[in-house]
Amino acid sequence: MTNNQMQQAIELRKDGQAEQAKTILLNLLFSDPNDPGLLYQVAWTYDNLGLEAQAVPYYEQALANGLEGEDRQGAMLGLGSTYRTLAHYDKAAALFKQAIQEYPEAREFKVFYAMVLYNLEQYAEGMKLLMTELAETTSDKGIEQYQRAILFYADKLDQVWE
């Protein structure tokens, strides 16, 4: 595989030419079918084309083949999100739980996990995650002013005070 061709495909995808990118990446895959970085790029391109079901095996294989670093983090987010859009909620939840353990500083996993919790009808837990992430990461002055209250109520949404 040539890095130049893969980089060209990535640029094409970024420029809205995902079909051309897919053609290049799939041709590269013939010569190196186990390359985790290449598998990830193919998955990402299928996702970009709205072909989520076709993206899944490429994400899974990229992760199984030892994808590392930022690419691993991106593939976990992409696969988990794709599982969710395909209504594979249990798979998505398990993957996001694993990602939160591996990348505790990557708050985006908690936000995507909250979406899955919504799909699983675990509304209180999903809202708690979202409210906590919002309160801890915002620069909005109004939310900052009420951060303590938001965090306090995040896990008490069903509680009634008399």
Q: What is the pLDDT of residues 119-146, one digit of tens each?
A: 999 999 999 999 999 999 999 999 999 9
Of all residues in the chain, the percent with pLDDT exceeding 90 is 94
Q: The tokens of 87 are what? A: 């209504």
pTM of the predicted model, to two decimals? 0.91
| pLDDT, position 1 | 47
Q: What is the pLDDT of residues 15-62, one digit of tens each?
A: 999 999 999 999 999 999 999 999 999 999 999 999 999 999 999 999
| pLDDT, position 2 | 67
For residues 73-100, give the mean pLDDT: 97
Determine the CATH number of domain 3-103: 1.25.40.10
Q: Which class for 105: exposed (0-12), middle (13-18), buried (19 or more C-beta within 10 A)?
A: exposed
